[in-house]
Amino acid sequence: MKTNWETALITEHLVLVPYRRKYVHRYHEWMKDPFLQEATASEPLTLEEEYAMQASWRDDEKKCTFILLDKTHPAASPPLFAPCTMVGDVNLFFNDPDGDMGVAEIEIMIAEPTRRGRGLGMEGVEAMMQYAIEALGVRRFYCKISDSNVASLRMFERIGYVRVAYVAAFKEVELEFLIREDQDWPQKICIVRDNLGKGGGVSMVPYRDEEGGKEGD
């Protein structure tokens, strides 16, 4: 979507940036991995198809995507994101049958094997949730996870998600996180406990490329 097109989010260990063309080639290389294809229920695309997909997601107001950059140098700050390493992405899908844009499905992928198991997935989910609550007005999050993906199930439950359904045909667990109207962020939880709570939360800043200027695509 265009809403987050000029926005970056800064957390303790991550920089979340919009999915621009400059990130497509690396993303395409990731998605050649059968493990990631299965985990994301994705079909392999050609590079040209991947660029077309990036453009369609940019223009689709029912999809919100941030690329996750690991802050190799924790002191790195905007507008220069060059010291950061691309490690995954986090997405929101607004597919509520009644068209309620306050309901969003959330997905997270840490594609770089060496960056898994370090808490970056949780930090990325929490950052996206804070952005979605404050900037997009989301009040209900849900996710669908394979029952064999124990690590992801535990991560979402640690954040505060609860199991609400199980689809035996797909061996898939659905979890949800509800925002009560009488709560103010970040008191809504449990959710920004460590990195986001004690570390100062999420900073929302203008996105700039490495030269300090804006990109058009």
Higher pLDDT, 184 or 29: 29
Residue 78 predicted with pLDDT over 90: no
pLDDT at 83: 65
Prior bond of 74 cis (ω within 30°): no
How many Å apart are CA 40 and CA 12, to the nearest integer? Answer: 26
pLDDT at 38: 82
- Distances in whole angstroms, Cα of residue 207 to Cα of each of 19, 83, 145, 168: 11, 15, 31, 42
163-191: average pLDDT:
78
Residue 89 predicted with pLDDT over 80: yes
- Delineate the domains of the chain, giving CATH numbers in brackets: 7-206 (3.40.630.30)
Residue 74 predicted with pLDDT over 80: no
pLDDT in tens, 19-59: 999 999 999 998 898 888 887 878 889 999 999 999 999 99
pLDDT in tens, 187-216: 444 444 444 444 457 889 998 765 444 455
Label the pairing between strands 203-206 and 140-146: unpaired
Q: What is the chain's mean pLDDT, rounded? A: 85
pLDDT at 39: 79
pLDDT in tens, 9-26: 999 999 999 999 999 999
128-144: average pLDDT:
95
pLDDT at 211: 43
Q: What is the pTM of this model?
A: 0.86
pLDDT band with cut points at 50, 70 and 90 for residue 82: low
Residue 73 predicted with pLDDT over 80: no
Label the pairing between strands 63-71 and 7-10: unpaired
How many Å apart are CA 61 and CA 92, to the nearest integer? Answer: 10
Residue 132 predicted with pLDDT over 80: yes
Percent of the chain with pLDDT over 70: 82
Asked whether the CA dihedral 80, 64, 36, 25 is positive or negative, the reply is negative
pLDDT at 213: 42
How many Å apart are CA 83 and CA 61, to the nearest integer? Answer: 30
